[in-house]
Amino acid sequence: MKKLQFRFLVLLPFLLTMLVFCVSTGTQKSGQRTLTIGAMDKLASTLPGNITWTSSDEDIVSVNEEGYITAAGFTDFQSGTGSAVITATAENGRTQSFTINTTMTALVDMLELPPMKDQFKDYFPLFGNIVNPRDIGSSGVTNERLLRHYNVLTAENDMKPDKLSPSRGSYNFSTADRLVNAAIESGFQVIGHTLLWHSQIPQWQASLRTNDTSPELALQYMKDFITSVVSHFRGRIHTWDVINEAFPDGGYTASSNWREVMRQDRNGNPWYMKIGADFVYEAFLAARLADPGAILYYNDFNLDQRAKARMVHDMVRDVNARYRQTHPAETRLLIEGIGMQSHHNTNVSPANVRNTLSLFRELGVRISISELDVLSQTWGQYSPRRETPAISGKIQAANLYGQYFRIFLENADIIERVTFWGIYDEHSWRRTGLPLIFEGGAVSRAKPAYYKVIEALEQHRQSLN
Ligand code: 9MR
């Protein structure tokens, strides 16, 4: 104790000199802080009276008249980071300064952020993510990140045809039931994903591509499969993805006939290959009859591509027209929604996404952004090269997230749901491309992309005022 007092006495003259220096220059230093790019914070000055706030570099950190700072920091495209001094100036001329560093590193735990489902509730009533068996317990969802931020879940893999019907006429619903029941117990809506696909299907479906089963019999198999699955889950599923990814990415133009260009190679859609384009109408009709309470969707990726979007548009238009004719008393559409998966990369142009939304708007259907993720690189860098994303790619992906959300928000009158395909990068099916807005593991933190999404929301709100 004595020793400490002695030290303090020795230091006293120095401390006094420092104090006199600060008071005479009128500058107070208030320390440093670091913000993830895109993040906002509030600075509090201890100076009296009205304060004027200025930044040494608005491109790195901007500040408004109330002392709210935003880490912009996108000027240096290589490092994506920077540093700026924010100065508070009082009416009496005294100043106080704060050094703010910006970083690409994710700093804030997603469990400390306000629930996204609440932040977006005025625009997208359904805000979702995927669920896996690891996320549930014996009664309900145990994954706190899902519970906090989302209100609708899609099984990542456990409701696909290969899981539900290993052989024709036999069903295995145990895992799917556990997932669906846990989600419902925890207050989530559930998306049924997916009934008819060309991938993750059982052998009895795949072999229809080449075997000699008659089209009539195949149609019967298809109806039986849909009726069994949809009836089993009846009343528990908000939306069914009735058909998934029926169109290939190329081999046709925007003026092609959709009935002729569906997937038909050795990995094609077996129902289309056996039954023909009428399988679409028949599949949706069977699903409608088995659970009239469920909303029926067509779901696909790369719908930013004009020709593919056009094929989907024409298919939905024609199938719905046929249903109207055959069911004149019915007020609902048969295909009620289109899921735009939105597995994007840094080359997916926001303008194309906007164009597709305008095209689909004519159909009077609902839209869901059903599997959103954005690679921090181009498709070519991701596959097959698997390059590690560069900082410039991470910045681009963050900016794109903001731009896509601006477009989604502008179309909020037709978009009922936004679902991310994964909670954080390390659990993503495309983890090396760092495609999500959170990263981590035991603690998952908000990346710049998260803040860009929230910024888009703020900007949208302001544009309405
Ligand atoms: O995320 C899914 C991944 O775990 C699977 O390995 C993969 C297999 O195809 O499917 C992923 O999810 C798909 C989704 O169901 C439909 N659209 C794109 C995804 C890849 O096909």
Q: Which residues of 50-67 are buried (b: 16+ CB within 10 A; e: fewer)?
A: ebebebebeebbbbeeeb
Give catalytic status of residue 371 as yes or no: yes
**Could you tell me if 186 and 140 are in contact, meaning their C-beta atoms sit under 8 angstroms apart?**
yes
pTM (2 d.p.): 0.93
Q: What pLDDT does residue 15 have?
A: 47
Ligand 1, atom nearest to 244 Cα: 16
Would you state the pLDDT for residue 26? 56
Work out the pLDDT band at 74, boundaries 50, 70, 90.
confident
Check if 416 is active-site: no
| Strand 68-71 versus strand 415-420 pairing type | unpaired
pLDDT tens per residue across span 281-311: 999 999 999 999 999 999 999 999 999 999 9
Ligand 1 atom nearest the C-alpha of 194 is: 15
Residue 7: the pLDDT is: 54
Residue with tokens 């879940």: 153
Better-predicted residue by pLDDT, 21 or 262: 262
Contact yes or no for 46/96 (Cβ under 8 A): yes
The pLDDT-based confidence of 73 (bands split at 50, 70, 90) is confident
For the segment 121-178, what is each residue's pLDDT rounded down to a tens digit? 999 999 999 999 999 999 999 999 999 999 999 999 999 999 999 999 999 999 999 9
Residues 242-258 have pLDDT tens digits of: 999 999 999 999 999 99
Q: Tell me what percent of the residues of the chain surpass a pLDDT of 70.
A: 94
Among 195, 221, 193, CA closest to 207:
221
Q: Which residues contact 81 (CB under 8 A, 6 or more apart)?
A: 37, 73, 101, 102, 103, 104
For every residue of 167-191, which 3-state class applies, written as one string? ECCECCCHHHHHHHHHHHHCCCEEE
Nearest alpha-carbon partner for 165 in 237, 225, 242:
225
Question: At 270, is the secondary structure helix, strand, or coil?
Answer: helix
DSSP per-residue letters across 72-88: ---SSTTT--EEEEEEE
362 has catalytic annotation: no
The yes-or-no verdict on residue 411 having pLDDT over 90 is yes
Higher pLDDT, 6 or 396: 396
Amino acid at 157: N
Residues having CB closer than 6 A to ligand 1 are 156-157, 199-200, 301, 341, 371, 429
d(CA 191, CA 214): 32
C-alpha to C-alpha distance for 297 and 308, rounded to whole angstroms: 16
CA distance 140 to 9: 63
Q: Give percent of the chain with pLDDT exceeding 90.
A: 90
Q: Which of 163, 368, 429, 430 to mutate to test the pocket of ligand 1 (most atoms within 8 A of CB)?
A: 429
Q: How far is CA 404 from CA 171, 323, 369, in A?
A: 39, 33, 10
Token couple for 88 = 């508070």
Predicted local confidence at residue 31, as pLDDT: 78
- The pLDDT value recorded for residue 78 is 75
Q: What is the mean pLDDT of residues 196-214?
A: 98
- pLDDT surpasses 80 at 451: yes
User: Do 391 and 79 form a contact (C-beta atoms < 8 A)?
Assistant: yes
- CA–CA distance, 182 with 177 (Å, rounded to integer): 8
Residue 25's pLDDT is 44
Go through 108-133 and write b for each residue having 16 or more CB atoms within 10 A of its CB, e for each that does not: bebeebeebbebbeebbebbbbbbbe
Asked whether the predicted pLDDT for residue 17 surpasses 70, the reply is: no
Atom nearest to 193 CA in ligand 1: 15
Q: For 101-129, what is the mean pLDDT?
A: 97
Nearest to 86 by CA among 61, 103, 65, 104: 61
